Structure 1
Amino acid sequence: MHPLIVHFPVGLLCVALLLEIIGWSRKSNDMRAGITALVWIGAISSVIAAAFGLILINQEEYGGQTVTVHQWSGLATMALALITVFALRSGRQALYRTLLFLTVFGVTIAGHYGALLTHGEDYLTSVLPFGSEKESPSAPNPNLAFISTTNQPLNPKQIEDLNLEVRSILAHNCYSCHSATKTKGELRLDKKELLFKGGENGPILKAGHPEDSDMIRRVKLPAGHDDAMPTKGKRLTEKEIAVLEFWIKQGAPWPSGAEKSIYRVAALEPRLPAIPAATGDLTNPIDRFVNVYFQKNKIAWKTVVNDHTYIRRVYLDVIGLLPTPEQIQAFTADPRPNKREILVTELLNRNEDYAQHWLTFWNDALRNDYSGTGYITKGRFDITKWLYASLKNNKPYNQFVRELVSPTEESAGFIKGIKWRGTINSSQSTEMQAAQNVAQVLLGLNLKCASCHDSFISDWKLADSYAFANVFSDTTLEIHRCDKPTGKMAGRRILFKELGTINGEAPTPERLRQLAEFMVQPKDGRLYRTLVNRIWAQLLGRGLVEPVDMMDNEPWSQDLLDWLASDFTANGYNIKRLMTTILTSKTYQLPSISVKDPALLTAPTYVFEGMVRRRLSAEQFADAVSIVFNPVYGDTSLATKLLPETIKQEIPFPRASLVKNDPFLTALGRPNRETVSTSRTSQANLLQALELTNGAKFNTALKNGAIIWKAKYPTSDLIVKELYRKALGREPQPKELAVAEKIVGKKPSIEGIQDLVWAISLHPEFQLIN
């Protein structure tokens, strides 16, 4: 009766206002009797509607902020309607018209929140052509491959993965009617004990028997059936129903204890495990931890790579450049047993080259760029000079983080985010960007889901995200759920309360100073685990934890991760020292491995065997072509502007890390840096092939280089041998020499030289870090 009373009679107040406006504009009283009748009917029905609403709120167990707003806006509308009637009777025309307008406004607000309760948050967009498709979970993730293959009891990890998928399906399809906000049919599906309790018609599932479970019966019914669920929006897919059936068949297992136990939550505090005993030549602490891991997984140690492979690998990883033929020859001829340790030290001391290479990694992570959205409108600021100086001087990481979170003028661009032009989603305000980016980059934590609603993939809530974002805000933020204001104001607190309590009344700079100090404490083990995991992933192609932005995932060696982080904090937060430990380990020097499917690198079945073979990054490739053959980028204006005066003249060619993005670098994998990017794909793709084949930037560089080489080297064999030495660090084999000379021509041609360089630059030996 409540919707019947509301949807028609109370709506007559809107018609009354419309007729009142028409009569006022015509200066006519012809419709006065009809308007009076409409106002009286609307006012009386508002009283009846309010009464039925109070009854309904108890019958259907509604709850939450939405129903509260609907209830009080409805009562306010009823009061306004009654006062409007009295104003009309008293003949006070101006007051009456004002009150009628306010009453209609109240009807609109109450009706909006009523529709949210009855039809869901997409009650408007779902009936429009472009809004008919409701977002729902994709097919079961790779971690659920056991669903179609196992008849055995599930292990704890499988139970955890299965429950995560089940809760995700329920959240996307069922929570609009069966959660804390609305409990239709006395059924809630957002808590374990309530789901198993069932609703007004009894339990909805029978553990072990999906065929006898009412939940499965209802989701399988055709759309339009009275008992079909969900009653609105997109129906569950066959794969989603299969997941629910499998879950029930397994006994509907659910982790015991609190709801948080469904997700793995990594420890916050640091941990220093004992270093395993040294055996033979395994003296580096990393190797000793890995040795225990290898023994557990029955993996034999392989012979380390030769000097030629090692020098190329470490040059590219530390400074992003290829070694020259002379450097390779000198290193391979060096008889000193500790020459690899000496080489690592020498490379890490090349501060300019180190900074120019690692600038790429940090630019991606800190979404720092030289052009793009926001720079023209002054809605975004770069941090290049600060970042370059920090890398060049090997700034301790705790100070590095301190200056990012509680910024100087030069480092403020990171937490200031992008001030987007026009209307934006509330989850993309600059304050929320700061919260998301700090959490992702520094803590390996995804807050993006929880910036719009309570997360479906973790325990983080909307209130948590807003409280953290509010730390960065000059004003108090109102919480928006799915871009709709809730009327609740956010608090101010750090994500992990164990680290400290922010003074919410302090000015913004002081709050940020407190936040920075709390985050860099040695007891914030998560901060330092996240950093060492990122460095490990950059040097070995795959993190100890994957993905690197999800530090709650299980590492393949918890002891190694914990030891690296503890050793890092105990030795001055020195990133170069951390890299030295990794680069001089036997583990780093193992032969590289390849994988047929990149998804295997993030699968729970992943087993570490050595460095993952990977392609040169866009910047490494451009620099390699530049140093071997001819500079890809000839304009030094940007580098001159960005770099300190002391090194402007020391750049032999513009490093690609210092040039603005263009189609060439984009095709090879450089992101646009409008959002945080902490990893790049190492797989070749069609766009790369097209750019390397037909791209103007690359082919112009090859053509210009061919002209120079033709003048410098008069014969084909000289050109081929010099190109092989510079590009691959070796002489060509006899067959390679014959084929290459044929490409260049007996009398070298510009086109022939260009073709040979193109062929070598696409050769796996050139493109891959082995």
Structure 2
Amino acid sequence: MVSESLWIWQFLGRLHPMIVHFPISLILFAAILELWTIGKPDSKLKPGINLMLKAGVISGLLAVGLGLLLAGNEDISGDLLDRHRLTGILTGVGSVLILVFLQLSIKQQRFIKWFRASLFLTSLSVIITGHLGASLTHGENYLTETFPWESSNNYQTPSFDLTGYGDISAGLSPEKEIQLIGEVRTILAHNCYKCHSGAKVEADLRLDSKEAVFKGGESGEILQVGNSSSSEIIRRITLPKNHKDVMPSKGKLLSKDEIALLGFWIDQGAPWPDEAENPSIYRVAKMEPRKPILPKSSEGLENPIDLWVDLYFRENGISWQQAVDDRTYLRRVYLDVVGLVPSPSELELFYADERPDKRDIWLRNLLDRQDDYAQHWLTFWNDNLRNDYTGTGYITNGRYNITDWLYKSLQENKPYHQFVKELLNPTDESKGFIEGIRWRGTVNASQRTEMQAAQNVGQVILGLNLKCASCHDSFISDWKLEEAYAFANVFADSTLEVSRCEIPTGKMAGTKILWEELGEIDSTATRSEKLQQLSEYLVQPANGRMYRTIVNRIWKQMMGRGMVEPVDEMDNEPWSQDLLDWLASEFVDRNYDLKELIYLIASSRIYQSGSIGVKSPDLLFSEDYKFTGMVRRRLTAEQFSDAISRIFYPVFDEKELKYKPNQLLTEQKPTIDFARASLVANNSFLTAMGRPNREIVSTSRDSQANLLQSLELTNGEKLNDVLYKGAELWKEKYPSSDVIIQEVFVQTLNRKPSQKEFQIAKAALGDQPETDKIQDLFWAVLLLPEFQLIY
């Protein structure tokens, strides 16, 4: 409750935000100038510094006094306020010491060190106090949310569609109730916790627990359960922006969708489960493995994947797509397994193969092409493992390349459990993944290398987002700050101190795996011993989550959409829990063999069926998504580059290679004579075509075309140069425009041109085509969806 006191004290207290800017600017500027006087005892800056310090100290002491009045006469409380008050008092004490040592140093030079020490320490205290003050008024992440690595946590006002809750005449279903509670808590967390949570409590109101929400604040209850129109919280959030009672009083007002959802929640009885009854309002996927019994075989279906898909189709009234023809299948499987477009001669051999199981045979042969396979899948793993050839950290030795280890692992088809063990308990060759980027300069606690390791392992290996929980208790899951730090402590040389929103709490982190049932880490062990324990515990078959995660990733890579989406949120519901569980268990039973997993998917009827186009990528992530077949995908930057290199002219030459595979590791001879794009450092062309910045983990690429790609494809210097050089070669190689037209279509699209296509191309080329006209033909065909998409 607000303290009852004379109005004058409250008035004076509210002058604190105005007065406090004087000491901040004067003391900090004086400290900067003092740096210039080091070694110059007779500096002409001294009088000015002394004057600024005297004014800064006086205003600082005044600001501390007014701040204490403000805290005592306003209805604000919480941990954040306590820390701000403490550092403010320390700043005041430091200000007094500055004046004392300043006067002593004027009389005796030996006190100059004490003066400077008090000045610089007080300046640091000013910065910390100012940050805490800004956090009080603007929210705890006011500064840190601007960091680029925090962009994934920025809150974007969602669009809530209440029609998605369906008929509520009989009440909400348990699933819809959980969904509603989660959405309500998200709104409260991102709009209200700045002033009404454990860190800061205004008007005696907290909104971060059930008991506190239903208790209300100093003005009484904020909810009238079942009656949103009479609820104080609804009245406050619907007031005009300049009204004295409007909430939030700072920042953006709630959107219409958010207000409507809160009202809907109250009208439905404001459900909020007791923690003892239901410890989670979020869906939590089971940890343990599960291998359901296969459905009964259906006519013409032998692959177990197809049995599960057929059961799903029958339950959802979905029809099978027709099987694709040989040309479409071969192009699809070549691009998916080795990342290359098949040559005309390879297609002719495939046509001529009369074996009934030729697709399975050719698939096996592709998987046996060790170097082509490794050079294609290197792209996938480089994205996932944040591995690149250049970028932040490599110049300063704050980051380690794992390309050689990764390439050899793919080439020899290292079992996945061993692959993960070597990432978690690494050698010098594989340590780059968990070492993190040692960012230059000061960085927030949630991005220290140990926390990067925890975040990356959680995201890539376990399909888990720990970024929110690395700074504070998560708003999007049940993971707590202490749990994230306990996991990060596994990767630490010494015990970490927990920092909440960049403020050290004084608490030391425990040392635990996120799921304690997997095993107990010895907190007294050395870092290497902890990593060895972690590597053994995480890869055990009992960790069904880890194997569901990798199966889901490979499924998305082959089929265009994961069984669970996003692939980093494995607590989300899959479109087929049975297929996901069975495939993960089968993967373990088949000795963690990634190539066998790819073979099982690519040999299925569903993989070989017609692809599906979607009007908008958002439809793939909708809650009512229904699986109907493979989703059409755009060629990756690397696939696009390699196709051009193989058909027309190399996009990259050997000088641009950042990694050169040792072909002696295998008896195979290279099947290509150009630099694969996966082995080349990122550049403007690959960036435009979709290769991500690998300073952070990238587990999915956007398959949607964008403006940057369009500009590169139509006006890019790199592509223009490559196609022109290719046109020069083709002009010398092929005798006539007729042959050029035939070859362009056969080599790019694996088919002959239609009569209409031929006529159009012939009219454009003429009988004696010039280089630029051949280049234009290349360009026209490359822009066709038939070339750019995997059908």
- Alpha-carbon distance, 1:646 to partner: 4.8
1:524 to 543, 551, 554: 543
Q: Which moved more, 1:641-650 or 1:583-592?
A: 641-650
* Counterpart residue number, 2:674: 653
Check 1:709–1:78 CA distance in 2 against 1; reply closer, same or farther (3 A cut).
closer
Q: Which amino acid aligns with 2:722?
A: A
Establish whether residue 580 from structure 1 lines up as the match of residue 603 from structure 2: no
Distance in 2 (CA, whole Å) between partners of 1:110 and 1:321 is: 55
| Structure 1 residues 75-224: aligned runs within 5 Å | 115=133, 119=137, 121=139, 137-141=155-159, 144=161, 146=163, 152=169, 153-224=171-242
Check 1:50–1:509 CA distance in 2 against 1; reply closer, same or farther (3 A cut).
same
1:384 to 403, 411, 414: 403
* Counterpart residue number, 2:552: 533
Distance in 2 (CA, whole Å) between partners of 1:107 and 1:691 is: 50
Q: 1:354-402: per-residue Cα shift (whole Å, max 9, x none)?
A: 0010001001111111112222222222111100000000000001001
Distance in 1 (CA, whole Å) between partners of 2:70 and 2:739 is: 94
Q: CA RMSD in A?
A: 4.0
Check 1:325–1:107 CA distance in 2 against 1; reply closer, same or farther (3 A cut).
closer
* Counterpart residue number, 2:588: 569
| Structure 1 residues 213-252: aligned runs within 5 Å | 213-252=231-270
* Counterpart residue number, 2:629: 610
Q: Which amino acid aligns with 2:400?
A: F
Q: 1:630-686: per-residue Cα shift (whole Å, max 9, x none)?
A: 222223552664545557973411111111111111111011211111111111122
* Counterpart residue number, 2:724: 703
Q: Which amino acid aligns with 2:359?
A: R
Distance in 2 (CA, whole Å) between partners of 1:553 and 1:160 is: 13
- Alpha-carbon distance, 1:63 to partner: 4.8
C-alpha contact 2:587 2:597 (8 A) present in aligned 1: yes
C-alpha contact 2:473 2:480 (8 A) present in aligned 1: yes
Distance in 2 (CA, whole Å) between partners of 1:123 and 1:365 is: 28
1:488 counterpart SS class: strand
Distance in 1 (CA, whole Å) between partners of 2:380 and 2:342 is: 21
Establish whether residue 342 from structure 1 lines up as the match of residue 361 from structure 2: yes
Q: 1:404-435: per-residue Cα shift (whole Å, max 9, x none)?
A: 11111111111112122222222222222111
* Counterpart residue number, 2:431: 412
Check 1:112–1:748 CA distance in 2 against 1; reply closer, same or farther (3 A cut).
closer
Q: Which amino acid aligns with 1:495?
A: L
Q: Which runs of 5+ in 1 are unaligned?
A: 29-34, 85-92, 129-134
- Alpha-carbon distance, 1:734 to partner: 1.9
1:440 to 448, 459, 478: 459
| Structure 1 residues 719-734: aligned runs within 5 Å | 719-734=740-755
Distance in 1 (CA, whole Å) between partners of 2:368 and 2:460 is: 26
How many equivalent pairs are there?
Answer: 737
Distance in 2 (CA, whole Å) between partners of 1:629 and 1:248 is: 64
Check 1:49–1:408 CA distance in 2 against 1; reply closer, same or farther (3 A cut).
closer
Distance in 2 (CA, whole Å) between partners of 1:637 and 1:50 is: 63
* Counterpart residue number, 1:669: 690
C-alpha contact 1:317 1:539 (8 A) present in aligned 2: yes
Check 1:738–1:254 CA distance in 2 against 1; reply closer, same or farther (3 A cut).
same
Q: Which moved more, 1:458-467 or 1:232-241?
A: 232-241
C-alpha contact 1:639 1:654 (8 A) present in aligned 2: no
Check 1:256–1:155 CA distance in 2 against 1; reply closer, same or farther (3 A cut).
farther
Distance in 2 (CA, whole Å) between partners of 1:746 and 1:663 is: 37
C-alpha contact 1:137 1:168 (8 A) present in aligned 2: no
Q: Which amino acid aligns with 2:284?
A: V
Check 1:184–1:395 CA distance in 2 against 1; reply closer, same or farther (3 A cut).
same
- Alpha-carbon distance, 1:229 to partner: 2.2
- Alpha-carbon distance, 1:270 to partner: 0.8
C-alpha contact 1:714 1:748 (8 A) present in aligned 2: no
| Structure 1 residues 249-264: aligned runs within 5 Å | 249-255=267-273, 257=275, 260-264=279-283
Q: Which amino acid aligns with 2:553?
A: R
Q: 1:506-542: per-residue Cα shift (whole Å, max 9, x none)?
A: 1111111111111111111111100000000000000
* Counterpart residue number, 1:329: 348
2:384 to 331, 355, 365: 365
Q: 1:93-118: per-residue Cα shift (whole Å, max 9, x none)?
A: 99x99999799899969976984796
Check 1:104–1:290 CA distance in 2 against 1; reply closer, same or farther (3 A cut).
closer
Distance in 2 (CA, whole Å) between partners of 1:621 and 1:80 is: 63
Q: 1:307-349: per-residue Cα shift (whole Å, max 9, x none)?
A: 2211111111101111122222222232222111111111111
- Alpha-carbon distance, 1:550 to partner: 0.6
1:186 counterpart SS class: coil
C-alpha contact 1:67 1:113 (8 A) present in aligned 2: no
C-alpha contact 2:289 2:585 (8 A) present in aligned 1: yes
Distance in 1 (CA, whole Å) between partners of 2:705 and 2:199 is: 47
Distance in 1 (CA, whole Å) between partners of 2:407 and 2:251 is: 51
2:488 to 469, 481, 491: 469
Distance in 2 (CA, whole Å) between partners of 1:123 and 1:626 is: 47
Identity over aligned residues, as a percent? 52
Q: 1:20-76: per-residue Cα shift (whole Å, max 9, x none)?
A: x9xxx9x99xxxxxx9xx99xx89x98x999998x99xx969454x46646777898
1:737 counterpart SS class: helix
1:430 to 449, 460, 471: 449
Q: Which amino acid aligns with 1:319?
A: V
Distance in 2 (CA, whole Å) between partners of 1:105 and 1:646 is: 59
TM-score by length of 2: 0.84
Distance in 1 (CA, whole Å) between partners of 2:575 and 2:535 is: 30
Q: Which amino acid aligns with 1:206?
A: Q
* Counterpart residue number, 2:645: 626
2:393 to 352, 374, 380: 374
1:293 to 298, 301, 312: 312
Check 1:627–1:490 CA distance in 2 against 1; reply closer, same or farther (3 A cut).
same
Establish whether residue 482 from structure 1 lines up as the match of residue 506 from structure 2: no
- Alpha-carbon distance, 1:145 to partner: 5.2
C-alpha contact 2:165 2:176 (8 A) present in aligned 1: no
Q: Which amino acid aligns with 1:232?
A: K
C-alpha contact 1:160 1:255 (8 A) present in aligned 2: no
Establish whether residue 751 from structure 1 lines up as the match of residue 772 from structure 2: yes
Q: Which amino acid aligns with 1:700?
A: D
Check 1:301–1:420 CA distance in 2 against 1; reply closer, same or farther (3 A cut).
same
* Counterpart residue number, 2:416: 397
2:450 counterpart SS class: helix
Distance in 2 (CA, whole Å) between partners of 1:506 and 1:368 is: 29
Distance in 2 (CA, whole Å) between partners of 1:74 and 1:699 is: 62
* Counterpart residue number, 2:102: none
C-alpha contact 1:615 1:683 (8 A) present in aligned 2: yes
* Counterpart residue number, 2:576: 557
Check 1:729–1:204 CA distance in 2 against 1; reply closer, same or farther (3 A cut).
same
2:639 counterpart SS class: helix
- Alpha-carbon distance, 1:611 to partner: 0.4
Distance in 1 (CA, whole Å) between partners of 2:739 and 2:545 is: 55
- Alpha-carbon distance, 1:756 to partner: 0.9
Q: 1:113-164: per-residue Cα shift (whole Å, max 9, x none)?
A: 98479646469979x9xxxxxx98433346x352698665443333333322
Q: Which moved more, 1:537-546 or 1:291-300?
A: 291-300
1:475 counterpart SS class: coil
